[in-house]
Structure 1
């Protein structure tokens, strides 16, 4: 493809994306096609000769767009948001065009240094403790997801707990990792990948009202494991759990991890973005105890997937745990110890220039724009919660500190009530007007409304509530 051909198709596809965003409100939130529908529209084999992208836009319209769940749709309320934005898309375009491989400072000096500065910008924007800045003992890096951040934190915690012995002798000792029963599934995956195994994961009970980790139970379990000859290595606390956005009590947990010498990783994948607003930083109380912290700009901060911001308080511990330097990667800059090689801060060797899209987003929106974005969604969620409370058929089943509301139809025996709520969700999502997800709170089936699309307005929230009430009429009839 020549530069002129790229220019031609690039203009055409930018127009297509802009038209897609403009037409989202008129589309179904997700398709109602049977599995295999999209695959059935594609040729059985790749073309022998290239076709020059003939009919590409027609294929996007006929095959791709109808087969998508539209995460940017203003009435997408399922899971957590996966924001993107014009500046983010343009940043990704430039990064893809540059094709930089930023595994070492030497292979992409600008790729490395822009990332370092962007993570410092974000740390300042969220008012993180000073130790997480690059000019202190720590620093930040972009991981692909909070799942990878948890794995990296687990590996660093094992390195500390073993005194470095883990690098050469693996997990011959019995190491233990702690999180709440509401902790993300990525924590279970991390202990498997790190070689600890499911038997080393401790799920700590939560407070029945707040659904946050119970520090007393955490202390008891650590003490019991020590008495049993295990080596406690890591606590993963959550600010904004996936099911309900519960906030674990970091001050109390931090005191325990400091007393016993455990690594404390704080997973704020969704809720961390809220901390751009000073009034929404309550979840960060006690963060000074953390050894590492992460949140996902690709969830609620208008930066397209993938972009997880991960910080450590002591970068030396992380680098010691992960660094492997073969001869073919040696270079003068690395040997000087004057640069950051982000290959030592992650599991993969290679890395894309993800900081560009973050730079574009921060420049375009600024502090004020990002705060307005978050505050608008928090306000819309509060409005939705008020609508739920006003209908005696429904109850809110968890606190709502951010922009997620968890609720259910009241009454009925446990099994019957669960069936009615599941039927309500099925009816809602099948209609295609809105999309919600579900969870279980205290063992009971509940529905989740997560406000987060950049296009969502009060009109969309009201329409979602109308759809929910209408579906409830059918279920309860």
Structure 2
């Protein structure tokens, strides 16, 4: 494809994307296809000859779009937001067009230094500790995901806890322990497995009624493990847990971690970017105790996947765990020690120019535009929670400081609440206008409504609430009718059983009478055959009373 052909077809692709965004509200949020439908629409063999771009775009409409769940849809309330924007798409396009590989400073100095600068900008906007800046002892880097960030944080913590021995001898899984809560994202346990510690190294710290990690419970577990000769390596605290956006108390957890010499990693994948908003920043008070911190710009900051912002307070622990320098990567800049080579800050070697899209987004919206976007999502979520609080059909299941609301529908006592709630969820998602997901809170199923798409408006949230109420009412009536039908059938069965029992009793009584009659006839016949008894006359004297005898006695 020549530059001129690219120019022409590039316009066509941009037009296609713009048209897709325009018609997006009219598409069903969740894909209606069945497993295998997409592959069945594709040819068995690849093309031998090239095809025009028009054919590819036609297949986007015919094959791909019907098989998508539309994460950019205004009615998408599932999981967490994963939103892109025009500036992000254009920044990614420029990155793809430049096609640079930013593994080392020397392979593209601008890729490294722009990333350092943008991460320093965000460290300032989020009010993170000075140690997280590139001018301090640590620094920031863009990772592929917070799952990846959790892994590299653990590797850095293991390196520090072992004094660097993990590089030479590997980990000692029988000695090392990692601390999470029941609400911590599953990627932390996955990181523990990948690091070679195994799930037995994970300690699950109790949470309070607010679903946040209890500092006293953490301290007790650390004391117990240290007394047993174990080596606590890392505590993962969460700001905005995945299920409910619970917030672990960093201000209290931090000093405990310092006392035991354990690495404090803060997973703020979803909620971290809310720190841009001054009134929401207190949720992260205590972050100055953190050894590492991660948040996702690709969730709630209008930047397309993948764009995880990861900071570390001591970059030596991170690069000590991950750096390796074969001869073919040696260069004068690296040997001078005066540059950052981001290949030493991540698992993989190669890396895209990820910072460009973030740079585009920040320059287009400005910090205040990003704050407005976050405030909008929070305000809409609070309004939804208010409607649910005032309605007897729903209960707000957990605190909702940000843009996620967990709703527990109320059902009649005889209804299986979890089954009913999942049925409601499927009805909502099958309808195509909205898409929600679920979780469990204290063993009960709840609905999660996460607001965050830039196209979501108050009208969208009002429609979500209307659909929740309408479908709840329909199901409640259906459950009541089903219960009434079951009661009717049960009453009929009882009546039938009583009728049959009465018939059986009557039949039994009749049979008993017949049997009694059958026994009485022979007895009567036997009495008829016996000789009649002749009465014996009693002498009159024997019938006289003593008085009569005395009267009749002769006088002497």
TM-score normalised over the length of structure 2: 0.84
Matches within 5 A, 1:376-455: 376-411=376-411, 416-455=416-455
Instruction: Give the CA deviation at 1:413.
Output: 6.0
- Equivalent position of 1:79 in the other structure: 79
Report 1:187-198 matches (<5 A): 187-198=188-199
Following superposition of structure 1 onto structure 2, how do residues 319-334 of structure 1 map, counting pairs within 5 Å? Answer: 319-334=319-334
Work out the CA distance in 1 between the residues paired with 2:114 and 2:171.
36
Mean CA deviation greater in 42-51 or 137-146: 42-51
Q: Which has the higher contact order (CA 8 A, sep 6+)?
A: 1
Question: Residue 416 of structure 2 aligns to a residue in which SS?
Answer: helix
> 1:319 deviation in Å?
0.9
Where 2:279 maps in the other structure, the secondary structure is helix
C-alpha displacement of 1:327: 0.7
SS at match of 1:225: helix
Give the SS at the match of 2:114. Answer: helix
- In 1, the alpha carbon distance for the partners of 2:52 and 2:324 equals 43
2:24 corresponds to 1:24: yes
> Residue 202 of structure 1 corresponds to which residue in structure 2?
203
Q: Does 1:185 align with 2:186?
A: yes
Cα distance in 2 for partners of 1:192, 1:198 equals 6
Once residues 331 and 34 of structure 1 are traced to their aligned partners in structure 2, the CA distance between those partners, rounded to angstroms, is 52
Partner of 1:100: 100
* Shift, 1:52, TM fit: 3.1
The answer on whether the counterparts of 1:89 and 1:357 sit within 8 Å (CA) in structure 2 is yes
- 1:55 is displaced (CA, Å) by 1.5
**In the aligned structure 2, how far is the partner of 1:219 from the partner of 1:150?**
22
CA distance in 2, matches of 1:148, 1:34: 31
Secondary structure of 2:111's match? helix
Question: Contact 1:29 / 1:75 at 8 angstroms: preserved in 2?
Answer: yes
Q: Distance in 1 between matches of 2:295 and 2:337?
A: 28
CA contact (8 A) 1:174 1:196 kept: no
Q: In structure 1, what is the Cα distance between the partners aligned to 2:180 and 2:416?
A: 31
Question: For the Cα contact (< 8 Å) 1:140–1:309, is it kept in 2?
Answer: yes
**What secondary structure does 2:44 align onto?**
coil
CA offsets, 1:303-350, max 9 Å, x none? 000000000011111111111111110000000011000011111011
What are the equivalent positions in structure 2 for 1:262-281 lying under 5 Å apart?
262-281=262-281
Q: Secondary structure at the match of 1:304?
A: coil
Q: In 1, Cα distance between the equivalents of 2:282 and 2:443? A: 27
2:523 aligned partner: none
Structure 2 CA distance for partners of 1:158 and 1:415, relative to 1, 3 Å: farther
Partner SS for 1:235:
strand
**Structure 2 CA distance for aligned equivalents of residues 205 and 321 of structure 1:** 30
Shift of 1:129: 1.2
Q: What are the ranges of 5 or more consecutive residues in structure 2 without an aligned counterpart?
A: 478-556
In 1, are the aligned partners of 2:32 and 2:66 still within 8 Å (CA)?
no
Aligned pairs (5 A) from 1:456-475: 456-475=456-475
Query: Any idea what the Cα deviations from partners look like across 1:203-235, whole Å, max 9, x if unmatched?
Result: 111102x11001111111111111222110000
Q: C-alpha displacement at 1:65, in angstroms? A: 1.1
Q: CA deviation at 1:54?
A: 4.1
Equivalent positions of 1:115-264 (< 5 A) are 115-172=115-172, 173-208=174-209, 210-264=210-264
Paired residue secondary structure (1:137): coil
Query: For 2:162 and 2:289, how far apart are their aligned partners in 1?
Result: 21
CA displacement at 1:410 relative to structure 2: 2.1
Residue 368 (structure 2) aligns with: 368
Q: CA deviation at 1:34?
A: 1.0
Please give the secondary structure, in 1, of the residue aligned with 2:309: strand
CA contact (8 A) 1:414 1:444 kept: no
- TM-score for the superposition, normalised by structure 1: 0.98
1:310 and 2:310 equivalent?
yes
1:46 maps to 46
Unpaired stretches in structure 1, ≥5 consecutive residues: none
CA distance in 1, matches of 2:21, 2:56: 18
Aligned partners of 1:383, 1:414: CA distance in 2, in Å?
Answer: 31
User: Greater CA deviation, 56-65 or 460-469?
Assistant: 56-65
Deviation at 1:53, TM superposition (A): 2.8
Find the residue that maps to 1:179 and give its secondary structure: strand
CA contact (8 A) 1:322 1:344 kept: yes
1:110 maps to: 110
Given the superposition, is the C-alpha separation of residues 323 and 373 from structure 1 closer, same or farther in structure 2, using an over 3 Å criterion? same
**Mean Cα displacement is larger for which, 182-191 or 170-179?**
170-179
- Distance in 2 between the 1:475 and 1:243 partners? 25
Equivalent pair of 1:294/1:308 in contact (CA under 8 Å): yes
Deviations 1:136-188 (A, max 9, x none): 11110000000000000000000111111111111135211001110001001
1:323-362 aligned at under 5 Å gives the runs 323-362=323-362
SS in 2 for 1:279: coil
